[in-house]
Amino acid sequence: MIMFDINNVSLKSEKEIISNWTDDDDVKISVVCSAYNHEKYIENAIVSFLMQETTYKYEIIIRDDASNDKTASIIDRYYQKYPKIIHPIYEKENTFKKGIKPLKVLIDKAKGKYIAVCEGDDYWVSKDKLQKQAEYMELNSIVELTFHSTNVLSKNEYIKSNNNLINEDCFTTEDIINNWFIHTQTMMFRNNFDVNKIYDQFIGVLNMDWAIQLALSLKGEVRYLSDIESVYRKHDGSLSKVNFLNQKKRALFLILLMDKFDQYSNYNYSLPLQDKKIKILDEFCKNELVHNNRVAYIVSYPKEYFTNILTKIKLRINRFFG
């Protein structure tokens, strides 16, 4: 359990924050945050951004996707106090339903050399998060993406993730294919890629944070920093919870992601991607059997069985997304 209390943070004024920046000309870090109906959580996120102690100039870009609660008014309250740091975007109608990806819009607006991501219902715990990640990447030009540990908050209980990782561990593309272990609110990456190209090549994919992680792993190293903390909330209204309520859809979208990355990487990772798709289907079969209260589960299937299923699914996906 983390001892840090985000609700009792005393923030500096905008003038005090800016006075610590050694370079007042160029934005070094862009903090990007997507929000929708996050009235209960958005203040914690904003406070965790503004409490950052850094010598680097940073901006905060928060986009509210036409929330029907008080999210936008809370954002605006902080914008009035920190107008030189916070850059809000208020959508008049919900764009996510139209297929517009929040992260793409935010990255397009980012001026920083580095981009740090945090969704409106999560928050950071470490006050030196931005400083440590940017400083590390300044000293290690081969590193494209850094991430850190997080505490999963569910029903008022904190569960630490990535306990088995060691500081400065380096992860390959195959590692990222095999497991989703990089939480979105821990990511900082270089703002030196064509975001439009990535989104164009991953049309229909829901897990764009995972797609970006995979794409960046082809450009350089992905490293873990152990002494930075954050909180990821699990709640019924979270985007991941809503998207993955239907296990069948979840499996299809994950397979779509693997197929899109296969194309994006010029088919250099076809074998591990094929294995991953088989694991996705295997997990789906297990969940279906448990859900239906079946007693027996066949532990191993012939690989050809899954390959035939994958071929049919791929054809269906291609027809749907064209």
Structural tokens at position 78: 């902080």
Bigger pLDDT: 261 vs 240: 261
For 195-239, the pLDDT digits (tens) are 999 999 999 898 999 999 999 999 999 999 998 989 988 755 544
Our CA dihedral for 198, 71, 27, 130, rounded to 10 degrees, sits at -90
Average pLDDT, the chain: 87
Taking the model in full, what pTM does it have?
0.86
Alpha carbon of 251 to those of 116, 293, 321: distances in Å? 28, 20, 16
Count of positions (residues) in the chain = 322
| pLDDT value for 1 | 47
Residue type, position 210, single letter:
W
Instruction: Note the pLDDT of residue 302.
Output: 47
159-208: per-residue pLDDT in tens? 777 778 999 999 999 999 999 899 999 999 999 989 999 999 999 898 99
Query: pLDDT class for 244, splitting at 50, 70, 90?
Result: very low
